[in-house]
Structure 1
Amino acid sequence: MKLHFDLATVLQGDYGALFLHGIELTLAMTALAWLLSLFMGILLTIIRMTQLRVATAFVSTYVAYHRNVPMLVQILFWYFGIAAILPSALQDFLNDYNGQFIFAVIAIGLCCGAYLSEDIRSGLRAIPHGQFEASRALGLNFFKAMRYVVLPQALRNAIPPMVNHAVLLFKNTSLAMAIGAAELTYVTRKIENETFLSFETYLVATVVYLALSLAIMMAGARLAVHFRIPGAR
């Protein structure tokens, strides 16, 4: 039996443009969700560092929820659950301005923020306790000590695991297809349904995901080397 291979059809014309649009949306979703997750990771770390019982319990509950509930369920909860209790005007706004994308970014970013908080917490453990004492001896309050002395070192120590979670975040953007966000996996499925070229369509998607994941890993490796603390293991 002769095999028919038609890669050009899925890469040219409207289908090629659709693939590019899916890649652009995936990268935008990855970047925004990553920024949100980094903000949440730092915020949760600072809250935990206050060592207040209520604050510690809040962070522990937040992390436990996001680590034990599947990300797909969280995305569906935000899109169908949270959206349903919003004011009608805000719902209309989200419907007009790509609410699927917005809710996916929020759900993925908040979830990955829980993991990043643990990465940053591990980075804090690698900092000698004398750093805390020295910063307080210099007259810095808790927040200034965290901002200028502790967190910069913790973030540098945490770059390798944070890069791993960045790759996972990028791959998990594919889950947004469940709510209709037109990212790469969504458009891949759409093109495959219209062309019936299953092998060619998913081959393109596989190569794109692999290339972008490797690019993130390589960029992260260079960052880790560049920001490595001298003398650190």
Structure 2
Amino acid sequence: MSNLSFKFLEKYYPVFIEGIKFTLLVSLLAVVFGVIFGTILCFMKRSKLRVLRIPIPKIIASIYIEFVRGTPLLLQIFIAYFGLNTFGFKFSPITACVIALSLNSGAYVAEIIRSGIDAVAKGQLEAARSLGMTQSKAMQYIILPQAIKNILPAIGNEFVTIIKESSMASSIGVAEITYAGKLVTGATYRNFEPLIVAAVCYFILTFTLGRLMAYVERRFKASDLR
């Protein structure tokens, strides 16, 4: 333990600060686009639209969700960055990473939203329909407002997951926290200490966000008891 030294932070702490900024940027964009895409996937999966009696939207959404959840995120990042180049789509590392994380997150968010909607008592929808509301109106004004309380904490957990998974972006040169650790290792020839600093950065981000989401969840529960 006496060999451990963190004096390099005096010179290289800005590298980790930049890494934190990139990690938060990539993760936030991925969550926003993931929620949008996941919402579309969810309603595709719940759609009753049929073409020649075949539920095309439901089949497409189900196949996509299962495929994404069944393949490694690192492979998806490589496909977004290297694979799409084959078809003439040239993205910067950070753009490719946001695309891959968003498409990956969308598959999980779709299931989060679906379970949140299903958690609302079916009698609520039936009561709304009996009052003359259309399916879409009942969903908009009755079901979704209640489902959001179930969905938001899970979305927060998804944000935490993405922050950790964004470390894979270092494999294509995105200057997030893990990449910052590698840069400092190369500059200082210290292998262990930069990894510890990187781990502490991830912990601070995820712990803070976790406590924030726990607070939001308690507020929702408190409002339900009123």
Whether TM-score is above 0.5 comes out as: yes
The alignment of Structure 1 onto Structure 2 pairs a total of residues equal to 219
Aligned counterpart, 1:74: 76
State the secondary structure of the residue aligned to 2:192: helix
* Counterpart residue type for residue 94 of structure 2: F
- Aligned-partner Cα distance in 1 for 2:23–2:137: 36
For residue 224 of structure 2, give the secondary structure of its aligned residue in structure 1.
coil
- What's 2:52 paired with? none
Letter in 1 for 2:10: Q
Q: Is the 1:121–1:154 Cα contact (8 Å) retained in structure 2? A: no
Shift of 1:137: 4.2
Residues 203-227 of structure 1 deviation map (CA, whole Å, 9 limit, x = unaligned): 1111111111111111111121223
Q: 1:12 aligns to what SS in structure 2? A: helix
Q: Tell me by how many angstroms 1:140 deviates.
A: 4.1
Q: Are residue 114 (structure 1) and residue 112 (structure 2) matched?
A: no
C-alpha spacing 1:8/1:143, structure 2 compared with 1 (3 Å): farther
Match of 2:43 among 33, 43, 46: 46
Does 2:224 correspond to 1:230?
Answer: yes
State the Cα deviation string for residues 31-72 of structure 1 (Å, max 9, x = none): 000111111221112222222311111111111011001000
Aligned mates of 2:80, 2:3 — CA distance in 1: 43
CA distance in 2 between counterparts of 1:207 and 1:64 reads 33
CA drift of 1:101 comes to 0.6
Find the partner of 1:188 among 173, 181, 191: 181
Report what 2:86 is aligned to: 84
1:1-233 paired onto structure 2 within 5 Å:
3-9=2-8, 11-13=9-11, 15-52=12-49, 53-86=55-88, 91=90, 94=91, 99-228=92-221, 230=224
Where 1:143 maps in the other structure, the secondary structure is helix
Matched residues in 2 for 1:49 and 1:149: separation?
17
SS at 1:186 equivalent: helix
Q: Which amino acid aligns with 2:15?
A: L
Structure 1: distance between partners of 2:190 and 2:26: 27
Query: For the residues of structure 2 that align with 1:45 and 1:152, how far apart are their CA atoms?
Result: 16
Q: Look up the equivalent residue of 1:127 and give its one-letter code.
A: V
- In structure 1, how many angstroms separate the alpha carbons of the residues matched to 2:209 and 2:159? 8
SS in 2 for 1:218: helix
On the 8 A contact 2:68/2:107 being kept in 1, the answer is: yes
Q: CA RMSD in A?
A: 1.9
Q: Which runs of 5+ in 1 are unaligned?
A: none
Q: Distance in 2 between matches of 1:187 and 1:148?
A: 46
Aligned residues of 2:28 and 2:159 also touching (Cα < 8 A): no
Secondary structure at the aligned position of 1:230 is classed as helix
Shift of 1:139: 4.7
* 1:13-48: CA deviation from partner (whole Å, max 9, x where unpaired): 3x2111111110000011000111111221112222
Deviation at 1:164, TM superposition (A): 2.5
Structure 2: segments with no counterpart, 5+ residues: 50-54
For residue 138 of structure 1, report the CA deviation from its aligned partner: 4.7
Q: CA deviation at 1:194?
A: 1.3
Take 1:116 and 1:201, find their aligned partners in 2: how far apart are those partners? 33
1:148 Cα offset (Å): 2.7
